[in-house]
Amino acid sequence: MSEKIAEQYKVKTEPFYRPVSNEVELYQAAYARRMPVMLKGPTGCGKSRFVEYMAWKLGRPLITVACNEDMTASDLVGRFLLDKDGTKWQDGPLTTAARIGAICYLDEVVEARQDTTVVIHPLTDHRRSLPLDKKGELVEAHKDFQLVISYNPGYQSLMKDLKQSTKQRFGAMNFDYPDAVLEAEIVAKEAGVDADIAKKLVQIAHRARNLKGHGLDEGISTRLLVYAGQMIAEGVEPLAACQMTLVTPLTDDPDMRETLEAAVHTFFVS
């Protein structure tokens, strides 16, 4: 049974991931000891892609959970459901991952309330177990189970941070947008555009990233550059493609838009 579930969560084909530094080796070593790992970095810089790649490389199933503030511990752990025969327990994604030996990726974990976050504590220390209080069961994690969380250090207010007792259960890795040459390579490959266009898109992003904290909350992500490249590869005229993917999603402020449009015009002329 758990074999069948594991199969369903396997990453079947190799995801394209271009290592930026020694992150693959570091992750492998952490996984060898089943150390919980925290990935920190801005939106669209490759955190999720990296986890998919590592799950593929290690041959482990991957269960991803997008966290949000309405999420309860039951959403992670499981709950009793009513059906025609009465009540039936249904495992949540964290419980499933612990049972089948998956890598469980909790995306944007700070979004969850602290009383939700603490359910991961017994799984992330020597106990490696998950108590299902409502069901009266203690799940011992499968030997291959590992927990990974992601977190964007930019957005948090003081209210929204992880407790030290949660943070200090993880080894942490910093992610950021790759350097210009590498990022252009990624954009060219992912979007299917030539090196020259990819390079220009990256140059636009560098201008926008300098505006972070000066009118922009966040710079243009690698993800958006890939979008821009994809639109261009579809035959959309570069200015329109950039407007849709690099300007309009980022800001509603008219001055900021103008600044971004000017950056686009520097590299693509109509």
Please report, as ranges, the residues that interact with Mg ion according to CB under 5 A. 48
According to CB under 6 A, which one of 6, 9, 11, 20 is a site residue for ligand ATP?
A: 20
> Which residue's CB is nearer to Mg ion, number 43 or number 74?
43
Q: Smallest gap, in angstroms, from Cβ of residue 171 to ligand ATP?
A: 18
Contact map string, positions 58 to 97, toward ligand ATP, x by CB under 6 A: ----------------------------------------
Site residues for ligand ATP, 179-238, by CB under 6 A, read 186, 190, 222-223, 226
User: In angstroms, rounded to a whole number, what is the distance separating the alpha carbons of residues 58 and 148?
Assistant: 14
- C-beta pairs of 161-166 under 8 Å, 24+ apart in sequence: 161/110, 162/109, 162/110, 162/114, 162/117, 163/114, 163/117, 163/118, 165/121, 166/114, 166/117, 166/118, 166/120, 166/121
> Which residue's CB is nearer to ligand ATP, number 74 or number 230?
230
Q: What phi, psi does 62 have (nearest 5°)?
A: -125, 125
Q: Is the dihedral of CA 124, 127, 133, 137 positive or negative?
A: positive
Residue 43 touching ligand ATP (CB under 6 A): yes
Q: What phi, psi does 215 have (nearest 5°)?
A: 120, -20
- Where does residue 224 rank: exposed (0-12), middle (13-18), buried (19+ CB within 10 A)? buried
Residue 142 touching ligand ATP (CB under 6 A): no
Q: Smallest gap, in angstroms, from Cβ of residue 47 to Mg ion?
A: 5
- Where does residue 158 rank: exposed (0-12), middle (13-18), buried (19+ CB within 10 A)? exposed
Q: Smallest gap, in angstroms, from Cβ of residue 194 to Mg ion?
A: 27
**Best CA proximity match to 220, nearest among 233, 234, 239, 201:** 201
Residue 152 touching ligand ATP (CB under 6 A): yes
User: In angstroms, rounded to a whole number, what is the distance separating the alpha carbons of residues 93 and 46?
Assistant: 23
> Which residue's CB is nearer to ligand ATP, number 48 or number 72?
48
According to CB under 6 A, which one of 37, 40, 47, 193 is a site residue for ligand ATP?
A: 47
Q: Smallest gap, in angstroms, from Cβ of residue 64 to Mg ion?
A: 8
Residue 17 touching ligand ATP (CB under 6 A): yes
Residue 45 touching ligand ATP (CB under 6 A): yes
Binding site for ligand ATP (CB under 6 A): 16-18, 20, 41, 43-49, 107, 152, 178, 186, 190, 222-223, 226
